[in-house]
Structure 1
Amino acid sequence: MNSDRPVISCKNVWKLFGPNPRRYLAGMPKGHSYEDIRADGYIAGVKDVTLDVAKGEMLVIMGLSGSGKSTLVRCFSRLHDITGGTIEIDGQDIMALPEKELIELRRSKMGMVFQSFGLLPHRTVLENVAFPLEMRGQDKHARRARALEVIKLVGLEGREEYFPRELSGGQQQRVGIARSLAIEPDIWFLDEPFSALDPLIRREMQDEFLRLQDMLGKTIVFITHDFDEALRLADRIAIMKDGAVEQCDTPDKIVLNPMTPYVKKFTEEIDKAHVVHANVLAGPINGAAVEGDPIPGHLTIHQLARRLVNDSRDLLPVADKSGTVTGVMERQKALDVLLGDEKNG
């Protein structure tokens, strides 16, 4: 298997809702807008989306309610059949799979967590977590051992015999996460899993989630409508509007270079210094004379604020985590991110 091949590859994908979507898409004029399509009696749940998700990547899909983010993820797992385009999972066209193979793919490779916890109220934490393994036909001892393992992983050790009603909202969400991890999925789909939680518990769950991802290295597609959450969690963010992806990029690049007015609206209130890392502002050395201690490229401009203000060099060497200098950064560029660009007021 080619390790460079994306785990999920989505090319020119459409999902139209209406009386005869395939025939309509085949005859639809090129460049038809979302409003044009709606005027014709159809809804473009997903509109000509092309993107890849790499192995171990966390792609966060965000947008307002009705933007198409949940529809797109349901297309990834073929909970929705697409109207046009192709979706491949590990190089396999999922639209070509017979029902039996599709079910097996979902059971063996995909874990799903939704906003509503969907726990079985009359089963204990242990029984809820073991449930997908029971559906898979795994024997009682093996599924109990695996369930106990993931319960410990999500920090619920000691609560195995509790019922859902005896748990807080954050604990119930951990059970949902443990249940989806029990099957050891390669791909993890999470649809606004923390949005029902209060802000403090939500942040704790984000911390827990980042810890789990650091340990497990799953390929993750995470849906949210919260831009702060997206910035905190994502390797890349895909921002959707009217079924289409407006921009898909790293958090740094989205806040530095929003490509559309819609994306710019999301970034206006964001303190860029908390998001932008030094290595993103660095350019090639190209023979530049750089002296002195390098700036750690993995730190944000906010984390480097004191050093940037006190440093007198115009060009600052930027190093990776091993200490190897990888580029140079103009100090003024970093100060503009930190303090605001004078030209823009």
Structure 2
Amino acid sequence: MADYEFGVQVVESVMSQIVIAFISAMLLCAVLLAVLYYLLPRHFLAAQKNARSNHTIPARQIGGLALVPTILILLGVFHSLTGLSGSTVVLLEFSGWLLWLTGLLDDRYDISVRLRLSVQLLGAVLGVAALGNDFQLFTFLPFWLEFCLLVFVMLVWINVTNFMDGLDLMTVSGLGIPVLWIAGFASLGLAGMSAGYLAALIAGAIIGFAFFNRHPAKVFLGDSGSLPLGMLSCFALLLFAQETSIWLALLLPLYYVLDASTTIILRLREGENIFEAHSRHAYQKAKRAGRSVWAVIGSVALLNAALGAAVFIWLLKPELWVELSVCFAGLAVASALLLKFRAS
């Protein structure tokens, strides 16, 4: 009985810490963004409507100026609660601020693709190094080869996060919900504190950003937000993958994975430069075909809610047949939504 009561107290303590992290990030991001929105000149980092745009009014790319500092500042202040080592936090902070500054310069001055990718690669290397020497997902691979593979994965995810921030609330529904699930799992003792606390900070900041990104969006992340957010969310997903299963970690943000990967394949087949700006994602096609913003992001949000619930079932009953059922069902539903958007 004493052991049970102690276990309950531990879960309640973890839950309260994660809830506090989430609320703190949400409030700080919302307040910072409100201050920036009303104090900065209206033309500062304003993205005008063009042929590729999916917004109807000029949107300011200042979301990252509040969202990323919120996450990194709170991560630094409360790092002792995360379970992450000091060296890990230092590497995450360095990578995050480096990507933030690079993204800000790109938003402001449109720096070269080569320089942008070089800094992103360095940020990915630092992010993977932050996982530590004892981190391993693929036991059959030598450490150096897995390190290179994870750097490539993080580099891709940094760009995927950037590509997918092209519609009101898409980052909120497409990435915010998956990381919120990780925070929820950790609060219930079904995932590690490190992944859960970082996910709570990310999810809270994204919700704070949502107040200004809701339709019709006044603010988007910009590169200063999407690049560091990609690195940090990938780090949290990799931790979650190590604690549970790589397939479940892929399942949570599956819509992002499918939309981005199929878009890249389609563009490569048609000989396009995949590093150039475009508007060919499935969700963008659905919006241009006449679907409302709320219909598109609502569909993605419902999908991610269902995928998270499926992962929750597996965590409660971690058996192979359950994992296979969950993964196949999730892939089928996510693919159906993607095809529906592309057929619009």
TM-score bin (small chain): under 0.3
TM norm structure 1? 0.27
> What TM-score results when the alignment is normalised by the length of structure 2?
0.27
Higher relative contact order (CA closer than 8 Å, sequence separation 6+): 2
Specify the structure having the higher radius of gyration (Cα). Answer: 1
Instruction: Name the structure where strand makes up a greater proportion of residues.
Output: 1
More helix by share: 2
